[in-house]
Each structure stands twice: as structure tokens, then as C-alpha cells.
Amino acid sequence: MSDLIALYRHGAVAEVVINRPEKMNAMTPEMSAALASLFAQLNDDDAVHVILLRGEGERAFSAGSDLRTLSSYRSAMEFRHRTDYGTTGRRARKPVVAALKGWVLGGGLEMMLAADIRVAGHSAKFGAPEVVRGWVGGGGASQLLPRLVGYGQAMRLLLSGDTIDAQEAWRLGLVEYLVADNDVNDTALTLCQRLAEHHPLAVQALKSAVRASLSMPLEAGMQYENELTTLCFATGNYQQGAATFSQQRS
């Protein structure tokens, strides 16, 4: 595992840290491969229920790709088949919570969009500057941003390349929590620990159902949800949940 992608464990919570603060946590191809490998391991680790993703330091969650490394791709086809760090989080079956401080730009924005819940500090600044540089982000911004903030706001951000502050991101619904910078990591970790208390099958089934709703017709989605409910029911988890509820009422 690359030293630039760190892992810390807090019980059932895996904390993944982009550890290159002197370069505003800009991503290299080697870091992308390390991040993808780590997420694949965490996917198969039954001891991990929730993943927390953050950037080291106060200056940035991630400023996106290290532009100096783009010349390492020898052809367009090699670039096409790259390991894209922006989409890594979407392959996680477990919930991913992003803790955000400082710059969240380009591929950093796409990593954030791939998370399930976003906790931002007041210092966070968000932007997709790719169009200004002459290209299009390849990690999902054009697909995920409209689903989160709507077509018009997504087009405003993507076509202008402008950055917005944390308060504006909160107003648009780009982030779910807005807290003081000093509280970002603790808030995100506390949230992860709370989610980790739920049964992992139920949590992963719920994530799968909600993600499916973004691409499935309603009737197919309703049927898929029922199949997942049946799966949870078949494991007998409902019996423990019902017993706990009865005890709490008493």
C-alpha cells in the first residue's frame, strides 16, 4: 500500500486518508491504484461496516489530479483504461462518508460526489475547473452532479468552472452537513460509528436500493427493493430488531 494512501481503523469504521498535504492531496496514477486496491480490500473485509474518506491537512480534501503526471500516459487508449480514483468510491458496497476541508476540486469533487454522505467544514471550496483547462472531468461530475443539485445548477458549475464556498454548497444540497473546520473529522467519524452500529446486511441493501433508484424505472426499483427486503427478512435479522424495539418501548 502506498504511504500516500493511509488506513486507520476505528472498530467497524475504516478511515482512508489521502496523505499528500504538501501537494494539496493531488492524485497520481500510483495513488489511484493504491486507493482502488484498498477499497477493494475493504469491500471484502466483513469487519468493516463503513468507510470514512478524508484528505490530510487543512488546505485540501483533494485538488484533483496531479497535472504533471498526465504526460505519463503514452496514448489516449492507455488514459482511457486508467484506474480512475474519482469513481472508486462508487464501487464500495458499504457506505462512504467524505470529510471535507479546504479545496475540493476536479477529481477531488468527483471523489466527494461518489461518496454517500458529505460532511463539510466552512473552509471548503468546491469546483470543477476542467472546462477552463480544455477538457471534461472523467470521474463522474457530469453524471453525478445533476443528480445531486439539479440540471441548471450543475451546468452553472460545470460550464463556468467557478468555485463555490461551503455555505453555497450547503444551500445547493451539495453537502449534507456543514460544521466548523475543527469539528469536521470528529463529526464524520461519529456519524460513521453510528451507521456501523446497524446490521451490515441492512445497510448495504439500503445503499444498493437507493443507488439503483438513480438508474432504474420506478416499477423495477420497487420490485428490487422488495427483493432486498425479502433477503433481509430471510436472514432473521427482523426478529432481533423487533425484540430490541419492544425492549425500548418497555
In 56-133 the beta strands, taken as DSSP E runs, fall at: 60-62, 96-100, 103-105, 117-121, 125-127
The total number of residues written for the chain in this structure: 250
Catalytic residue among 22, 30, 78, 110: 110
Q: Rounded CA gap, 47 and 112, in Å?
A: 24
**14 neighbors 52 (Cβ within 8 angstroms):** yes
Active site (annotated) includes residue 130: yes
Burial of 51 (0-12, 13-18, 19+ CB in 10 A): buried
CA dihedral sign of residues 223, 216, 40, 197: negative
Catalytic residue among 30, 56, 130, 168: 130
Q: Is 110 a catalytic residue?
A: yes
C-alpha cell at 105: 476540486
| CA atoms in the 13 A half-sphere facing the CB of 11 | 9
CA distance 244 to 218: 33
Residues belonging to the active site: 110, 130
